[in-house]
Amino acid sequence: MSIQTVTSTPFDDQRPGTSGLRKKVTVFSQPHYLENFVQSVFDALDDCAGKTLVLGGDGRFHNRVAVQIILKMAAAHGFSKVMVGQGGILSTPAVSCVIRKHGAFGGIILSASHNPGGPDGDVGIKYNITNGGPAPEQVTEKIYEHTKSISQYAISDAADIDIDQIGERRVEQMVVEVIDPVADYAELMQRLFDFGAIKKLFAGGFTMRFDGMHAVSGPYATAILEGLLGAPAGTVINGVPLEDFGGHHPDPNPVNAAELMALMDGDDAPDLGAASDGDGDRNMIVGRKLPVTPSDSLAILSAHAAVAPGYRAGLKGIARSMPTSRAADHVARELGIECYETPTGWKFFGNLLDAGKATLCGEESYGTGSDHIREKDGVWAVLFWLNLLADSGKSVSELVSDHWARYGRNYYSRHDYEGVASHAATELMDSLRVKLGALAGQDLGLYTVDAADDFSYTDTVDGSVASGQGIRLLMTNGARIVFRLSGTGTEGATLRVYFERYEADPAQHHIPTQQALAGLIAIAEQVAGIIDWTGRPNPTVIT
């Protein structure tokens, strides 16, 4: 066994996006492709000697191959230890939990999250720092700089390492500790939530379906819900991670989780439906005939946070990504705490959480989390809802309509145009940018534009600035349209258009969402010419 130096040359497409580097398997599995990126991560970190790294992924196609390469490269860079999930499995929130609990230097997560898997699907890689959270932009930029000039990488020529048996083995001087992927995470959840109350809820006949979508959260949900909390077998469906996610899209929204939605719409619907994504950091919450929007979920959990033992002391603040609805802002105002508005992507929450400025965070894209780790967390959100349902004795829909009655309803929807030609998407955004000055103050019939801008964020902790984060039209009575391009896709560009309208009157809270937002949807087309630029008469996905 010895360390090899391998000559290589740069690829020109390794800039990390919203959440790490995501590529098609065919790109990612080219010789030297992953190795170059991992070498660039290690170079950006400077000194890896004597440090501990956490490693795992969502189990998709190519996960096991990538784990072996990374273990051998870590050994060649002098890490003293790598903690790897058994079978190469660790959810994104579990990696964050393990880094923090064991004081590791950082972690590597292999996942393309909600993107499809399998030989024709996507793979991804992201680096998390010592606080357990995604690398901030300064770090990802440094990694990217290294990918442009790389000429060689170091790797051990050791044989493949057994990652299926729990326990310790060695590669070069480095210890490989294969850990139970669920144990540390389950222990943390038991400290945050009232497991006794949730156990009683299930024992009293409460029913739920958790759709693991054949992705990584299945083992976590099964161990916690059916194991520790005594929910009946069959509560977790599609609970075994598969390399191609069973051919489905592991993205928990009403469109992709069609099986669960049909169940929740039927007469035999369980009390609660939930789903998580590829790497276990997203969550969808569904009541009987009622999907809860992620923005409302953040607001409702914030309003009731004290029911959970982990949040008894109250919230320091709330943070939400800019396109997320302002439902949580109403709650923050009433609690007398700050609600921070950050760009899209969990990496922007890290500093606020570390500085003790925020306790709960959320994104409209089915992401909710807190200061317990530094990633969004799917199973955590589901347990929070269970704790709330157990404590209140109410149904999901009662909790939601009570919330709207008290704070008003923020009607909300996102329209995605996927796989659009990149140049057309960029030109659409550029043409909007040029019009911003003229749009401000314009009367558009139902709404007047109060302000129009391209969102820029200054981190209140380290002063760093992220600009060009989405075009916003802020209109009458808090109505909004936001346009931005996705940073997680792997084919062409994805245009996301976000709509929001506030309605205080409870008599107006039962309008179908698309109908309630129809005026804004028409304005978006009028202002941006989406059909012309994209050639698409309709969005690909509406959530």
Tell me which H or E stretch contains 282. Answer: none
Q: How far is the CB of 375 from Co ion (least distance, A)?
A: 9
Q: How far is the CB of 374 from ligand VG1 (least distance, A)?
A: 13
- Does the footprint of Co ion cover residue 281 (CB under 5 A)? yes
128 binds, among Co ion, ligand VG1, none (CB under 5 to 8 A by kind): none
For ligand VG1, the closer CB: 456 or 515: 456
Q: Which residue is nearest to ligand VG1 (CB)?
A: 113
Q: How far is the CB of 211 from ligand VG1 (least distance, A)?
A: 16
Query: Residues 268 to 297: which contact ligand VG1 by CB under 6 A?
Result: 277, 281-282
Q: What is the DSSP letter of 17?
A: B
Q: Are 407 and 505 in contact (CB under 8 A)?
A: no
Tokens for 136, please give them.
Answer: 């901030």
- Does the footprint of Co ion cover residue 251 (CB under 5 A)? no
Tell me which H or E stretch contains 391. Answer: helix 378-392
Q: According to CB under 6 A, which one of 254, 487, 492, 519 is a site residue for ligand VG1?
A: 487
Q: According to CB under 6 A, which one of 147, 342, 486, 534 is a site residue for ligand VG1?
A: 486
The number of angstroms, rounded, from the C-alpha of 437 to the middle of its chain's C-alpha atoms is 33
List Cα–Cα distances, 248 to 216, 252, 255, 399, in angstroms. Answer: 13, 11, 11, 31
For ligand VG1, the closer CB: 158 or 485: 485
Contact letters for ligand VG1, residues 18-47 (x by CB under 6 A) = xx----------------------------
Is 156 known to be catalytic? no
- Does the footprint of ligand VG1 cover residue 501 (CB under 6 A)? no
> Which segments of 159-293 does DSSP mark as H helices, in order?
183-192, 195-203, 217-221, 258-265
For ligand VG1, the closer CB: 153 or 412: 412
List Cα–Cα distances, 485 to 82, 126, 418, 498, in angstroms. Answer: 36, 20, 10, 11
Catalytic residue among 19, 113, 156, 321: 113
Tokens for 530, please give them.
Answer: 């989406």
Instruction: From 30-38, 76-84, 362-370, 522-530, give the range in contact with ligand VG1 by CB under 6 A.
Output: 362-370
For ligand VG1, the closer CB: 321 or 534: 321
For ligand VG1, the closer CB: 88 or 294: 294
Q: Which residues contact 509 (CB under 8 A, 6 or more apart)?
A: 401, 404, 405, 409, 503
Q: Which residues contact 525 (CB under 8 A, 6 or more apart)?
A: 531
Q: According to CB under 6 A, which one of 181, 291, 310, 345 is a site residue for ligand VG1?
A: 345
Phi, psi (degrees; rounded to nearest 5) at 316: -80, -30
Beta bridge pairs of residue 109: 56, 126
- Does the footprint of ligand VG1 cover residue 113 (CB under 6 A)? yes
Q: Which residues contact 374 (CB under 8 A, 6 or more apart)?
A: 96, 100, 128, 131, 132, 133, 134, 346, 349, 350, 353, 354
Binding residues vs Co ion (CB under 5 A): 113, 277, 279, 281-282
Binding residues vs ligand VG1 (CB under 6 A): 18-19, 113-114, 277, 281-282, 321, 344-346, 363, 365, 367, 486-488, 496
Catalytic positions are 113
